[in-house]
C-alpha cells in the first residue's frame, strides 16, 4: 500500500490512483488483463468461499425463520395465545416445506430433457452477489467438480446464466438479468434475435426483431446455439410477455419473461458444455 505523508501532495496521489483505475478499466475492456484479473478473482473467491458458506449456514435458518414470520404474520396475530411449542412446530413446518421445495427442485434437475444427455453438475446456490449493479450468484461447485468458466447454468425451468468465474470449490454465475448478459435466442420459424438483461427483477429486452414480425405473447424463445454462441441450442430462455411495433422503429420492442424464477434459486445445474464445441 502506498504511504500517505502529510507533506505529500494529495492531488498528485489522487491523479495517480485515478489514472491507475482508468488504466485497469481500459485493460479489462481490451482483454489484456483478463488472465491476471481472473486469477486474482479466483484466489479471492477461494479465500472467501469457506467463510461465505459458514455464514450462509448460520444465516439460512434465521432467514427462513424471519421469512416465515413475515409470511404468517397475520396468522401469528390471530393466534397470539399460542405457546412456545406451537411456534417451534411452525418453524419445523416451514423448514419441512423448504426441504420439500428443495427436493422438488433437485427432482426437476434430474434428467432435464432439453440438455439432450449433455453431462451436468448439480450445485447449490450459496450466495447472491452483494452488489446493486451486478446480478450474479455463487454456487458451491467449482473446478474440482468439473465446472469451468463459460459453462451454461440452468434450473428446472430453463436457462439462468453462465459461469463467469470458477475457483476450486465455488463459482460465480452471471444471471440472464444482469445488464451485461446477452443471449442469442431462436423463435417461431427459426428466426433469431438477442435477449439482453435489464437488471434484477426486470424482464429481458429482445433486440433485432424486424418490424412486422408475427410475435404473440406467450411465445417461447430458446437459445439459438448459432456458431460462436456462448450457449448450446434449444435451452428454454423465456416467453414473450409483450411485443410492440413502434412507428418508424427499425425493430420491434419485445420483452421476454425468463422461465426461471431468479428469486428462488436453491439448486441449479451447470451444463458441461464448452462454448468452443
Partner 1 sequence: MTFKQRVRVSLAIVLALLVQETVVPQTKVLGVFPDVVLAVVSAGGMLGGSMNGAIIGFWAGFATDLFLTTPFGLSSLVFTLVGYGTGSLETLATSGSKAIVASIVSVASAVGVVGYATLSALVGVGGTFSNHLIRTVVVVSLVNFAIAPVAARLVRWTGIAETERTARYGAS
Kindly identify the residues of this chain, within the stretch 55-84, that bind partner 1 according to CB under 8 A: 55-56, 59-60, 62-63
State how far the Cα of 174 lies from the Cα of 262, in Å rounded to an integer: 11
- Contact between 6 and partner 1 per CB under 8 A: yes
- Contact between 132 and partner 1 per CB under 8 A: yes
Judge whether 153 and 163 are in contact, CB under 8 Å. Answer: yes
Phi, psi of 193 (to 5 degrees): -155, -175
DSSP H or E segment with residue 7: none
Residue from 2, 70, 80, 250 that binds partner 1 (CB under 8 A)? 2
- Contact between 164 and partner 1 per CB under 8 A: yes
- Contact between 17 and partner 1 per CB under 8 A: yes
**Quick one: which segment of 8-16, 88-96, 115-123, 224-232 binds partner 1 (CB under 8 A)?**
8-16
- Contact between 207 and partner 1 per CB under 8 A: no
CB of 14 to partner 1, least distance (A): 5
- Contact between 198 and partner 1 per CB under 8 A: yes
Residue from 120, 155, 167, 178 that binds partner 1 (CB under 8 A)? 178
Number of chain positions touching partner 1 (CB under 8 A): 60
CB of 277 to partner 1, least distance (A): 23
Residue from 89, 133, 211, 217 that binds partner 1 (CB under 8 A)? 133
Rg (CA), the chain: 23
- Contact between 124 and partner 1 per CB under 8 A: no
State how far the Cα of 89 lies from the Cα of 34, in Å rounded to an integer: 51
Antiparallel, parallel or unpaired: β 120-128 and 136-139: antiparallel
State how far the Cα of 173 lies from the Cα of 192, in Å rounded to an integer: 24
Tell me how far CA of residue 222 lies from CA of 43, 95, 123, 198, in angstroms: 35, 35, 23, 18
State how far the Cα of 155 lies from the Cα of 259, in Å rounded to an integer: 9
CB of 200 to partner 1, least distance (A): 7
Residue from 105, 109, 120, 174 that binds partner 1 (CB under 8 A)? 174
Cell triple for residue 251? 425493430
- Contact between 197 and partner 1 per CB under 8 A: yes
Q: Which residues lie closer than 8 Å to 16 by C-beta, 6 or more apart? A: none
List for the chain the helix, strand, coil content (%; round to 5): 35, 25, 40
Give residues in contact with partner 1 (CB under 8 A). Answer: 1-6, 8, 10, 13-14, 17-18, 20-25, 27-29, 33, 37, 40-41, 44-45, 48, 51-52, 54-56, 59-60, 62-63, 127-134, 136, 164-165, 172, 174, 178-180, 196-202
Amino acid at each position: 500500500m502506498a504511504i500517505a505523508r502529510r507533506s505529500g501532495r494529495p492531488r498528485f496521489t489522487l491523479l495517480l490512483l485515478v489514472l491507475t483505475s482508468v488504466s485497469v478499466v481500459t485493460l479489462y475492456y481490451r482483454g489484456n488483463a483478463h488472465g491476471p484479473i481472473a486469477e486474482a478473482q479466483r484466489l479471492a473467491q477461494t479465500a472467501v468461499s469457506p467463510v461465505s458458506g459458514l455464514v450462509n449456514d448460520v444465516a439460512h435458518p434465521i432467514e427462513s425463520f424471519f421469512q416465515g414470520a413475515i409470511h404468517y404474520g397475520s396468522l401469528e396475530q390471530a393466534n397470539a395465545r399460542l405457546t412456545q411449542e406451537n411456534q417451534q412446530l411452525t418453524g419445523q413446518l416451514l423448514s419441512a416445506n423448504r426441504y420439500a421445495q428443495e427436493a422438488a427442485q433437485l427432482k426437476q434437475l434430474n434428467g432435464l430433457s432439453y440438455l439432450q444427455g449433455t453431462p451436468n453438475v448439480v450445485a447449490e446456490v450459496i450466495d447472491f452477489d452483494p452488489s446493486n449493479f451486478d446480478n450474479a450468484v455463487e454456487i458451491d461447485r467449482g473446478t474440482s467438480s468439473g465446472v469451468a468458466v463459460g459453462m451454461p447454468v440452468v434450473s428446472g425451468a430453463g436457462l439462468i446464466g453462465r459461469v463467469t468465474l470458477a475457483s476450486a470449490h465455488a463459482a460465480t454465475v452471471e444471471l440472464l438479468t444482469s445488464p451485461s448478459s446477452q443471449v442469442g435466442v431462436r423463435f417461431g420459424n427459426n428466426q433469431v434475435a438477442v435477449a439482453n438483461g435489464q437488471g434484477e427483477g426486470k424482464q429481458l429486452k429482445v433486440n433485432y426483431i424486424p418490424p412486422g414480425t408475427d410475435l404473440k405473447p406467450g411465445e417461447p424463445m430458446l437459445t439459438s446455439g448459432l456458431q460462436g454462441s456462448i450457449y448450446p441450442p434449444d435451452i428454454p430462455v423465456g416467453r414473450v410477455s409483450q411485443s410492440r411495433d413502434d412507428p418508424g422503429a427499425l425493430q420491434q420492442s419485445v420483452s421476454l419473461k425468463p422461465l426461471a424464477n431468479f428469486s428462488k434459486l436453491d439448486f441449479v445445474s451447470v451444463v458441461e458444455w464448452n462454448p468452443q464445441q
